[in-house]
C-alpha cells in the first residue's frame, strides 16, 4: 500500500477528491495533509476524514529554506511514497524538489506546456483558445514543466469568463488527479487523457 502526503494552501477541493478516491482496491492511502497556511480550509476537511494534518505558516520563517526544512521534516515523519501538490501555492526550491523528485506530482490548471505560472484561464481566454483544461505532471526544478502524467481538455464556450472556465476545469481536475494517482501508485506512468 503506497503512502501519500498531500500539500495544500487553500480549500483543498483537489485534496478531497484524492482522499475520497483512496479507498477499497486503490493501491494508496493518504497519510498526511500539510499546508503552508494554518487557516487553509482544507485542513479541517482532511481532519474530518481522519487524515493527519499539519500546518506551517511560511510567513513565520526567516527564509524559504528554513520553511522548507521544517516542511520536509514533517513530510518525512509521515514516510510518504508519493507527494501530491494540490492547490499548493508556494514555489519550491530545487533543493526541496530534488528530495522528492520522481515521486512528487502537481496539478496545474492549463494544458501544459501552454500557460505555466498564474492566471492561466485569463490567458487562454485572451488568446482566444478554443479549448482549455488541466494537467497533472511530475514536479521538477523547472516550474510547471515536468513529465506529463495526465491531461483533461474541454471546449471554451462563447461567453465564458475566467470564473466560469475555472469552475468547469476544477470539476475536471477532481476527475483527472485521482485517475492519475491510481495509475502512478500502481507504478504506471502512462498518461491519463480525458475525455
> For cell 498531500, what's the residue?
6
Whether the CB-CB separation of 72 and 96 falls below 8 Å is answered with yes
Query: Using the rule CB under 6 A, is 56 a contact of ligand GRF?
Result: no
Query: Using the rule CB under 6 A, is 170 a contact of ligand GRF?
Result: yes
Query: Using the rule CB under 6 A, is 150 a contact of ligand GRF?
Result: no
Interface mask toward ligand GRF for 5-34; x: CB under 6 A: ---x-xxxxxx-------------------
30 vs 39: CA distance, rounded Å: 21
Q: Is 63 helix (H, G, I), strand (E, B) or coil?
A: coil
Q: Is 58 a residue of the active site?
A: no
> For cell 501538490, what's the residue?
85
Contacts of 74 (CB under 8 A, 6+ apart): 32, 34, 54, 56
Q: Least distance to ligand GRF from the beta carbon of 142, Å?
A: 18
CA dihedral 104, 107, 110, 116 (to 10 degrees): -40
- At 4, list the grid cell: 501519500
Inter-CA distances, 101 with 105, 142, 146, Å: 9, 12, 10
Name the residue nearer to ligand GRF (CB basis): 97 or 136: 136
Interface mask toward ligand GRF for 81-120; x: CB under 6 A: -----xx-------------------x-x-----------
Name the residue nearer to ligand GRF (CB basis): 30 or 109: 109
Catalytic residue among 108, 121, 137, 174: 108
Chain position whose Cβ is nearest to ligand GRF: 87
Catalytic residues: 108
- The residues of the shown chain that bind ligand GRF, judged by CB under 6 A, are 8, 10-15, 86-87, 107, 109, 170, 173
Amino acid at each position: 500500500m503506497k503512502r501519500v502526503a498531500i500539500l495544500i494552501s487553500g480549500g483543498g477541493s483537489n485534496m478531497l477528491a484524492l482522499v475520497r478516491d483512496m479507498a477499497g482496491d486503490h493501491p494508496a492511502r493518504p497519510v498526511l495533509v500539510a499546508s503552508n497556511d494554518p487557516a487553509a480550509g482544507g485542513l479541517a476537511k482532511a481532519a474530518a476524514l481522519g487524515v493527519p494534518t499539519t500546518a506551517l505558516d511560511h510567513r513565520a520563517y526567516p527564509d524559504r529554506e528554513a520553511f522548507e526544512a521544517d516542511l520536509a521534516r514533517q513530510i518525512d515523519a509521515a514516510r510518504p511514497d508519493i507527494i501530491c501538490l494540490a492547490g499548493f501555492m508556494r514555489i519550491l526550491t530545487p533543493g526541496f524538489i530534488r528530495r522528492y523528485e520522481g515521486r512528487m506530482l502537481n496539478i496545474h490548471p492549463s494544458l501544459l506546456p501552454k500557460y505555466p505560472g498564474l492566471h492561466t484561464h485569463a490567458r487562454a481566454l485572451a488568446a482566444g483558445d478554443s479549448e482549455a483544461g488541466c494537467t497533472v505532471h511530475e514536479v521538477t526544478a523547472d516550474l510547471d514543466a515536468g513529465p506529463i502524467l495526465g491531461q483533461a481538455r474541454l471546449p471554451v464556450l462563447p461567453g465564458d469568463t475566467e470564473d466560469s472556465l475555472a469552475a468547469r476545469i476544477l470539476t475536471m481536475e477532481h476527475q483527472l488527479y485521482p485517475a492519475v494517482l491510481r495509475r502512478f501508485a500502481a507504478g504506471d506512468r502512462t498518461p491519463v487523457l480525458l475525455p
